[in-house]
Amino acid sequence: MKTAIVTGASRGIGRAIAERLMRDGFRVIATGRDEVLLASLNTPSIALDLRDPTSAQALIEFALLKTGRIDVVVNNAGATKRGLFLELSEGDWLDGYSLKLFGAVRVARAAWPHLKAARGSIVNIAGVGGRTPGAEFSIGGSVNAALLSFTKSLAEQGVVDGVQVNAINPGAIRTDRLRKRLAAIDEDAFVKSQLITRVGEPEEVAALVAFLVSSEGRYMHGSLIDIDGGATKTM
Ligand SMILES: NC(=O)c1ccc[n+]([C@@H]2O[C@H](COP(=O)([O-])OP(=O)(O)OC[C@H]3O[C@@H](n4cnc5c(N)ncnc54)[C@H](OP(=O)(O)O)[C@@H]3O)[C@@H](O)[C@H]2O)c1
C-alpha cells in the first residue's frame, strides 16, 4: 500500500484530498492543528503547527513509523492573511511564509530521500494569486509565486532523482476561507465580478491531485496547473 502525506488535511481542500486518496487506496498520513477534525478522518494523523521549524521532521518520522515508506506528499497547508498592504503586520508576513513556503520546503526536504527511494510524487497546492497578484493579497500572491518557483526548481532535481513534482493553482474553491469572503458578497455577484464560470469544489481539486499521482498522470512534471473556472486571464 502506498503512503500519502497531506498537510492541512483537517478541513477544506486538504481534507478532500486526504479523503480522495484514501478512497484511491493510499494509506494517508494527515496533519493539521485541529486534533478532533484530524481524528474524524479515521487515518493516522498528527497535530502539528507547521510554522514551527521542527514540525516537518516530526511529520516525516511519524509517517515512517506508521507505514515505513513515503510515496506522495501534498503540501496544502496555507493561511495567508488578506488585506491592504499597509494594514498587514510583520507577524502576518512571517506567519504566511513560515507556514506555506517554509512548511512546504521543510516537508519536501525531510521527505525527499524517501520519495526518491519510492520514485514518489510531490504536489504543491499554491493558488491563482501566484500568477495574478492583487492589492488585497500581497502575502498570498507572493508566497504562491515563491511556491511555484520552488516547484520548478524541485522538478528539475526530480528529473535526476526520479521524483515527480507539480503544483496546482486553485481559484475560488468553496472552503471556510472563501465562505468568509462570500458572507459579505452574494455568490452570483462574486462569480460575475471575477468573470469565472462558477465557484469550485474541494473535491475537484482533489480529483486533479489523484490524477497527478496516479500512473496515468506520471508524465506531468514541473507543471503549474490552474483549476480556477477561467479566473486566470493571462497565458
Ligand atoms: N479555498 C480557496 O479558494 C483557495 C484558493 C487558492 C489557494 N488555496 C490554497 O489551498 C490551500 C487550502 O486552502 P483551504 O481553502 O482548504 O483552507 P482552509 O479550509 O482554511 O484549511 C487550511 C488547512 O491548513 C491547516 N493549517 C492552517 N494553519 C496551520 C498551521 N499553522 N500549521 C499546520 N496546519 C495549518 C488547517 O488546519 P488547522 O485548522 O487544523 O490548523 C487546515 O487544514 C491553502 O494553501 C490555500 O492558500 C485555496
Of the chain, the percentage scoring pLDDT greater than 90 comes to: 97
Per residue in 58-112, pLDDT tens?
A: 999 999 999 999 999 999 999 999 999 999 999 999 999 999 999 999 999 999 9
In a domain, 233, yes or no: no
pLDDT given for residue 180 in this prediction = 87
In a domain, 178, yes or no: no
Q: Are 31 and 7 in contact (CB under 8 A)?
A: yes
CB-count burial class (<10 Å; 0-12, 13-18, 19+) for 214:
exposed
As for how many domains the chain has, the answer is: 1
Triad 13, 15, 17: Cα angle to 5°: 70
Taking CB atoms and a 6 Å cutoff, what residues make up the pocket around ligand 1?
8-14, 32-34, 37, 49-51, 76-79, 99-100, 125, 127, 170, 172-173, 175-178
Full domain range(s) for residue 121: 3-173+200-227
In a domain, 183, yes or no: no
In a domain, 27, yes or no: yes
Q: What is the pTM of this model?
A: 0.98
Of the chain, the percentage scoring pLDDT greater than 70 comes to: 100
Distance from Cα 78 to the centre of ligand 1, integer Å = 4
CA–CA distances in Å: residue 130 to residues 8, 139, 214:
19, 10, 26
For residue 212, give the CATH number of its domain. Answer: 3.40.50.720
In a domain, 188, yes or no: no
Average pLDDT over residues 171-188: 91
Q: Whose CA is nearest to atom 37 of ligand 1?
A: 32
Task: For residues 40 and 43, give the distance between their C-alpha atoms in angstroms, rounded to a whole number.
Answer: 8
In a domain, 186, yes or no: no
Ligand 1 test: best mutation among 175, 191, 201, 204, most atoms within 8 Å of CB?
Answer: 175
Distance from Cα 160 to the centre of ligand 1, integer Å = 31
Contacts by residues 136-141 (CB-CB < 8 Å, ≥ 24 positions apart): 136/82, 136/83, 136/84, 137/80, 137/82, 138/85, 138/88, 139/80, 139/81, 139/82, 139/88, 139/92, 139/93, 139/96, 139/97, 140/78, 140/80, 140/82, 140/96
Q: Whose CA is nearest to atom 36 of ligand 1?
A: 8
Q: Whose CA is nearest to atom 25 of ligand 1?
A: 8
Task: For residues 123 and 167, give the distance between their C-alpha atoms in angstroms, rounded to a whole number.
Answer: 5
In a domain, 48, yes or no: yes
In a domain, 190, yes or no: no
Task: For residues 169 and 162, give the distance between their C-alpha atoms in angstroms, rounded to a whole number.
Answer: 23
